[in-house]
């Protein structure tokens, strides 16, 4: 029963995302718990993975923001999915997710323990249709769309290599854009 209910919830969310994507109307701002949204998005991705990475959270129990919840959910799904893809053939796959309030912003970091982003790709990763995945396994739109969704609500999405290895993506959005 729990699996059926979760599946129904996922279908509902997918239909809402498709409506948002295909609609010319913008999703409205709403106050929501960022921590819960992150956990839900991560859970969806990890449950679907054949090899499940260890996911470590460093987040407060609750952190409210006034933003576009569906957009943030989609961005986190894209980032965690990409991290899980990179870690498929790595020993001890690990994804670390942190979330904090920094001044007037909510800052979310998604880090993997993969090989990192080659410097030659760093300037291209947010361009449409850029992918390093084999043909048929990636569209090259995930990071492009995620970047646009964050910019649309006054936020940002940045990529870097972590000093201890792996890639780290930083999502920044206004906690309350007014």
Domains in the chain with CATH codes: 29-174 (3.30.565.10)
> CA-to-CA distance for 78 and 94, rounded, in angstroms?
16
The pLDDT score that the predictor gives to residue 171 is: 97
Judged by DSSP in three states, 7 sits in helix
Q: How confident is the model at residue 101 (pLDDT cuts 50, 70, 90)?
A: very high
Q: Categorize the per-residue pLDDT at 13 as very low, low, confident or very high, splitting at 50, 70 and 90.
A: low
Percent of the chain at pLDDT above 70? Answer: 85
Q: How far apart are the first and last CA of the chain?
A: 41
Q: At what angle do helices 142-152 and 69-86 cross, to 10 degrees?
A: 150
**What is the distance between the alpha carbons of residues 173 and 13, in angstroms, rounded to a whole number?**
22
Neighbours of 149 (CB within 10 A): 23
Instruction: State how far the alpha carbon of 154 is from the alpha carbons of 52, 96, 163, 178, in Å.
Output: 33, 25, 28, 11
The model's pTM is: 0.83
- Nearest CA to 160 out of 128, 90, 112 is that of 112
Give, as one character, the DSSP assignment of residue 50: S
Three-state DSSP class for residue 123: coil
Asked if pLDDT for residue 18 goes beyond 80, the answer is no
Q: Is the pLDDT of residue 65 over 80?
A: yes
Contacts of 139 (CB under 8 A, 6+ apart): 129, 131
CA angle 93, 111, 103 (to 5 degrees): 155
- What is the pLDDT at residue 8? 76
State the DSSP H helix or E strand holding residue 110, giving kind and residue range, or none if neither. strand 105-112
């Amino acid at each position: 029963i729990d699996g059926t209910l979760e599946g129904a919830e996922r279908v509902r969310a997918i239909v809402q995302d498709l409506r948002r994507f295909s609609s010319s109307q913008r999703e409205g701002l709403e106050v929501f718990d960022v921590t819960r949204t992150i956990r839900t998005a991560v859970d969806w991705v990890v449950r679907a993975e054949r090899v499940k990475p260890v996911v470590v959270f460093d987040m407060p129990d609750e952190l409210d923001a006034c933003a576009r919840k569906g957009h943030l959910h989609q961005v986190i799904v894209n980032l965690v999915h990409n991290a899980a893809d990179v870690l498929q053939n790595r020993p001890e796959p690990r994804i670390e997710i942190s979330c904090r309030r920094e001044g007037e912003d909510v800052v979310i970091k998604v880090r993997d323990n993969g090989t990192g982003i080659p410097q030659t790709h760093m300037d291209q990763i947010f361009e449409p249709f850029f992918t390093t995945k084999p043909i048929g396994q990636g569209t090259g739109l995930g990071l492009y769309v995620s970047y646009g969704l964050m910019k649309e609500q006054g936020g940002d999405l940045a990529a870097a290599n972590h000093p201890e290895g792996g890639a780290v993506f930083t999502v920044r959005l206004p906690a309350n854009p007014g």
